[in-house]
Amino acid sequence: MHMVRTQIQLTDEQYQALRECAQDRSVSMAEIIRESVELYLRQSNFQSSEERRRGALEVCGQFGSGLSDLAEQHDRYLDEAFSK
Protein backbone atom coordinates (compact mmCIF):
# COMPACT_ATOMS: atom_id res chain seq x y z
CA MET A 1 0.00 0.00 0.00
CA HIS A 2 1.38 3.38 -1.02
CA MET A 3 1.19 6.07 1.67
CA VAL A 4 0.89 9.79 0.96
CA ARG A 5 2.34 12.22 3.45
CA THR A 6 -0.03 14.98 4.52
CA GLN A 7 -0.18 17.62 7.19
CA ILE A 8 -3.13 18.54 9.40
CA GLN A 9 -3.74 21.01 12.19
CA LEU A 10 -5.40 19.96 15.44
CA THR A 11 -6.56 21.89 18.44
CA ASP A 12 -4.51 21.42 21.59
CA GLU A 13 -7.29 19.30 23.04
CA GLN A 14 -7.51 17.08 19.95
CA TYR A 15 -3.75 16.63 19.90
CA GLN A 16 -3.59 15.63 23.58
CA ALA A 17 -6.52 13.23 23.29
CA LEU A 18 -5.07 11.68 20.14
CA ARG A 19 -1.65 11.34 21.74
CA GLU A 20 -3.10 9.64 24.83
CA CYS A 21 -5.21 7.31 22.69
CA ALA A 22 -2.17 6.31 20.63
CA GLN A 23 -0.08 5.71 23.76
CA ASP A 24 -2.82 3.63 25.38
CA ARG A 25 -3.05 1.44 22.27
CA SER A 26 0.71 1.39 21.63
CA VAL A 27 0.30 2.66 18.08
CA SER A 28 1.30 5.85 16.31
CA MET A 29 -0.88 8.91 16.13
CA ALA A 30 -0.82 8.51 12.36
CA GLU A 31 -2.36 5.03 12.72
CA ILE A 32 -5.21 6.45 14.82
CA ILE A 33 -5.80 9.16 12.22
CA ARG A 34 -5.81 6.62 9.34
CA GLU A 35 -8.28 4.41 11.21
CA SER A 36 -10.48 7.43 11.90
CA VAL A 37 -10.50 8.51 8.26
CA GLU A 38 -11.33 4.96 7.14
CA LEU A 39 -14.18 4.72 9.64
CA TYR A 40 -15.55 8.10 8.52
CA LEU A 41 -15.44 7.11 4.86
CA ARG A 42 -17.24 3.81 5.52
CA GLN A 43 -19.92 5.41 7.71
CA SER A 44 -20.58 8.21 5.25
CA ASN A 45 -20.95 5.69 2.39
CA PHE A 46 -18.37 7.62 0.40
CA GLN A 47 -17.90 6.34 -3.13
CA SER A 48 -15.21 7.48 -5.51
CA SER A 49 -16.27 8.71 -8.94
CA GLU A 50 -14.92 5.44 -10.36
CA GLU A 51 -17.13 3.39 -7.98
CA ARG A 52 -20.19 5.50 -8.89
CA ARG A 53 -19.44 5.08 -12.62
CA ARG A 54 -19.06 1.32 -12.22
CA GLY A 55 -22.35 1.11 -10.30
CA ALA A 56 -24.19 3.09 -12.97
CA LEU A 57 -22.81 0.90 -15.74
CA GLU A 58 -23.87 -2.27 -13.90
CA VAL A 59 -27.56 -1.32 -14.13
CA CYS A 60 -27.49 -0.21 -17.77
CA GLY A 61 -29.84 -2.29 -19.84
CA GLN A 62 -31.35 -4.17 -16.89
CA PHE A 63 -34.72 -2.44 -16.94
CA GLY A 64 -37.31 -2.05 -19.66
CA SER A 65 -39.87 0.69 -20.12
CA GLY A 66 -42.08 -1.08 -22.61
CA LEU A 67 -41.90 2.03 -24.81
CA SER A 68 -40.58 1.65 -28.33
CA ASP A 69 -39.77 5.36 -28.78
CA LEU A 70 -38.12 6.10 -25.44
CA ALA A 71 -34.74 6.99 -26.97
CA GLU A 72 -36.33 9.65 -29.19
CA GLN A 73 -39.00 10.90 -26.79
CA HIS A 74 -37.22 10.71 -23.41
CA ASP A 75 -37.61 14.48 -22.73
CA ARG A 76 -41.37 14.30 -23.26
CA TYR A 77 -41.71 11.25 -21.00
CA LEU A 78 -39.64 12.89 -18.27
CA ASP A 79 -41.75 16.06 -18.51
CA GLU A 80 -44.94 14.02 -18.22
CA ALA A 81 -43.62 12.01 -15.28
CA PHE A 82 -42.47 15.03 -13.27
CA SER A 83 -45.45 17.28 -14.02
CA LYS A 84 -47.89 14.91 -12.28
Domain range for 18: 10-60
The verdict on residue 76 lying in a domain is: no
Q: Alpha-carbon distance 10 to 16, whole Å?
A: 9
The verdict on residue 50 lying in a domain is: yes
Which tops the pLDDT comparison, 63 or 3?
3
CATH code for position 26: 1.10.1220
The verdict on residue 5 lying in a domain is: no
Domain count of the fold of the chain = 1
- The 10s digit of each residue's pLDDT in 14-52 is 999 999 999 999 999 999 999 999 999 888 888 888 988
The verdict on residue 69 lying in a domain is: no
pLDDT band at 5 (very low <50, low <70, confident <90, very high): very high
